[in-house]
Amino acid sequence: MLNLRKKILVAIDGSPQSDKAAEEAVRLAAGNQSQFKSKIYALLVLPNVPTATYTDFVPVVPMTETEKWDELRKRIFYVVEKCASEHDIPLEMVVEYGDPADKIMALARSEEVDVIVIGSSGKGFLQRRIKGSISHKVASNAPCSVFIVRG
């Protein structure tokens, strides 16, 4: 088997499941023993910012421009940053707005990612049927392999 540099995308949201997914992504990257280092893209997808209407006097500020953002970003990306730095794995952190499944697949296509690592939501049958599952949508439509980490 030819071991070349792998591009790994991990979906991050600050939950315990995404922390486990981050650890697995680093484990996958660190397992590549070739001379080419694998790279991890850690993606956080935030909900769409509500658009201002003519009745709004003060426009809504995106979360990434608030005073609390820096502290929140550090907490959300803490596990993946720590694990990647311990194993000397290149890490690129990406923050997007929109539908998580769509943004995950779009980044996977644009960066030609080899594998997507995502945490399982742990939702029951009824919640999955009503709300849908991001991991299921990604696994069904992704342009590459998907590794779903159970919590």
Residue 70: what pLDDT? 86
pTM: 0.82
Say what angle helices 100-110 and 134-141 make with each other, to 10 degrees: 30
pLDDT digits (tens, 9 = 90+) for 103-121: 999 999 999 999 999 998 7
Portion of the chain with pLDDT greater than 90, in percent: 53
Confidence check: pLDDT of 55 > 60: no
How far apart are the C-alpha atoms of 133 and 108, rounded to whole Å?
Answer: 18
Confidence check: pLDDT of 12 > 80: yes
Residue 1: what pLDDT? 42
Q: Which two structure tokens, joined as six digits, stand for 51?
A: 């658009």
Give me the number of domains the chain comprises.
1
- Determine the structural domain holding residue 47 and report its residue range: 7-149
Residue 144: CATH number of its domain: 3.40.50.620
Tokens 């949201």 -> residue: 13
Q: Which two structure tokens, joined as six digits, stand for 104?
A: 């995950």
Average the pLDDT over each of 19-33, 36-50, 91-105, 127-141 and give the range with the smallest value: 127-141
Asked whether residue 68 is domain-assigned, the answer is: yes
Asked whether residue 58 is domain-assigned, the answer is: yes
CA 40 to centroid of chain Cα atoms? 10
